[in-house]
Structure formats: C-alpha cells, structure tokens
Amino acid sequence: MTTTDLFIHFYKTLANHDNEKYNELLRFSKNVIQGTCPTKLIHICGSGNNGKTTLINILRQYTSCIDLPITKFKQLKNDNIIDIKSEYCIINEPVDDILNYTSIIKELTGDDFNVPKFSFIFVTNTKLIGDKAFNKRLYVIEMNANIKNKNLNIVTTLMQYKDELKDFILTHG
C-alpha cells in the first residue's frame, strides 16, 4: 500500500466510503490547516466510534490547538478574550453543556470589535441546535462512519508521513 493509498483509505473510512463526505472531510481538513474555515464556530458531530477525535488529533499536528473546558467561556467573556495564542480552541463537551453558553458563544463569534483571533471547534456526539443566530454561525461536519476494529495506532502511523499527508490534504481538499 502506498502512502497515498493509506491516506485515501483513512479518509474514506472516516467518510463511511461516501465520496461526497470524503471530499467534504478533505475540504474541511484543508480549511483548518490553512485557517480558512467559513466561520469561527466549527461543530464536528456524530455518534461514538466514528473518527471525530482521530480527525482532530491529525489536524492538531498542523495547527496550534488548545483544549478548552466549556466552563472557561465565562472567563473568556469576563476577561474580554483572554490572550489565547492558538488558532483553535477544542471543546469536547456534552451538547447540553455547550447550549447553556450560546449567548456567550454568539458574542465571541459575532462581528463585534473584540472578535477572537481563534476559532472554536466543538466535538459532540449529537448535533448542536440553538437559536437561528447561533445556528447560522455553525460550520457543521457530521461524521457518519461506524468504525469497527479501530486501529488505535492510526495517528502514529499517519504521522510517520506527516509532510506527505499535509501535501495530500492541501492538494485533494
């Protein structure tokens, strides 16, 4: 198996072998790496065992990310956007916890003067559904794969070809 075959197999598995989803995941990966996501609020959702965390762990290799507990939102607001030196804040929380903070999220991702220099990536098992203003800010990536026999070393394996994988994503995304 060539490295290109390995990369295609990885993304096809994440996409549940759906070509449209495969292309969407590659475009999303390219947008994250290049910092060109259409909004500052990204939502990756889907049931467990579908590659959400694996995809995030791959993309972490090419961007600066921090994990941010949902409870830190109050600090972000009260501190008038703490000095976050990352491109992405990853929030891996239950939907109900996130939905309790939609007004703060809207404030932080709106077109106001103090717009953060980073984007939020929410990773949840179910879809976030807020009000109209919240929903229009979301860039939603629905993961639909049901991965059986997970390769727990896939990130390590792929990172052996880190530069080639990045080139693949940027070329095919």
Give residue 75's pLDDT. Answer: 67
**Residue 63 is part of which domain span?**
3-172
DSSP 84-138: --SSEEEE---HHHHHTTHHHHHHHHSSSTT--SSEEEEEESS-----HHHHTTE
57, 155 Cβ separation under 8 angstroms? yes
List, for residues 115-140, the tens digit of each pLDDT value: 556 788 888 888 888 888 888 888 88
Q: Is 26's pLDDT higher than 90?
A: yes
Mean pLDDT, rounded, for 40-47? 87
Give residue 110's pLDDT. Answer: 63
List, for residues 87-121, the tens digit of each pLDDT value: 887 888 777 777 777 777 777 666 654 555 678 88
Select the more confidently predicted residue: 100 or 165: 165
Give residue 40's pLDDT. Answer: 81
Structurally, how many domains does the chain consist of?
1
CATH number at residue 126: 3.40.50.300
